[in-house]
Amino acid sequence: MEQRRIGPFNVSALALGCMNLSHAYGTPPGRGEAEAVLRRALDCGVDFFDTAALYGFGANESLVGPVLKPHRHRITLASKCGMTGVDGRKVIDGRPETIKRTCEDSLARLGAEVIDLYYLHRWDKAVPIEDSVGALAELVEEGKIRAVGLSEVSAATLRRAHAVHPIAAVQSEYSLWTRNPEIAVLDACRALGVAFVAFSPLARGFLTGRLTDPATQLEAKDIRRQMPRFDPEPYARNLGLLDGYKAIAAEAGCTPAQLALAWVLARGSNVIALFGTKSRDHLDENLGADGLTLPPETISRLDLLINRNTVWGARYNAAIQTEIDTEEFS
């Protein structure tokens, strides 16, 4: 598979986010099927896997750790701290002592001696970013982690953090229908030599073309039910974009999902597309985007069709919006 650079690591440009196997998108698959997805990814050449302490409140790390452990010499493993499950609820806590304790817990669940890339999952705005990143820098010195990342931060926060310790990667939502990184953080990453890891590159399923009626297709506990963009009225408007989008995919000789991933990878040589799935079939389809190069005119048509001015609905509700530091369009 095509390789790209994150800090000291060469990784597959198409990376597997493991959250869906334990968390957030309705009922997760059984353990056997989840392990089969992971093994299929390994067999297909994926060598960059992403988990977090939050996912399944530790269950995801306990799932992926044993499967990936025999392959640690040939993969890059990422996890996250700063947002965890405490007494059954999500808690954002970026205090140095919490970060270090979370790292120890993650190492135990993963069955690992070191985590390759360790992200601050969310910036706890009650704690200076310098203090949280300082704790991560100490974990590097202690040999517990190899590189430091940040998630859903602004360019200004990235620069403050980078002044304390080199940041290897910023992870934020990025796709045709979520363009916030284009405001500033993509440029900041390029200027600082930081990789950009785009999560939800398939627009949380919208760009696969298979999610036509969230009201009936999404389970009650699916996180998308809390996102305004998936409410009935805005989603009905957004569906109007899919006919033109599918036509471009057909002309390009690929599936809608592959087109979405190829568009993300075309945004820069420092960009990695981090997708998630519960299905081996969908995994195989997504990995078909490897090596798919889009002509400039195709990219221009996509940009004109799906962009911040043509997509309806906010990506997060008001409560979740307060938890992130990402720049917002006016």
Give the residue numbers annotated as catalytic, written as ranges. Answer: 55
Sign of CA dihedral 169, 174, 179, 180: negative
Spatial separation of the C-alpha atoms in residues 77 and 11, rounded to whole Å: 10
How many Å separate Cα 305 from the centre of its chain? 24
Spatial separation of the C-alpha atoms in residues 152 and 322, rounded to whole Å: 11
Radius of gyration of the chain (CA): 19
* Burial class of residue 281 in the structure, from the number of CB atoms within 10 Å of its CB (0-12 exposed, 13-18 middle, 19+ buried): exposed
Spatial separation of the C-alpha atoms in residues 311 and 288, rounded to whole Å: 26
Residue located via tokens 């990789």: 195
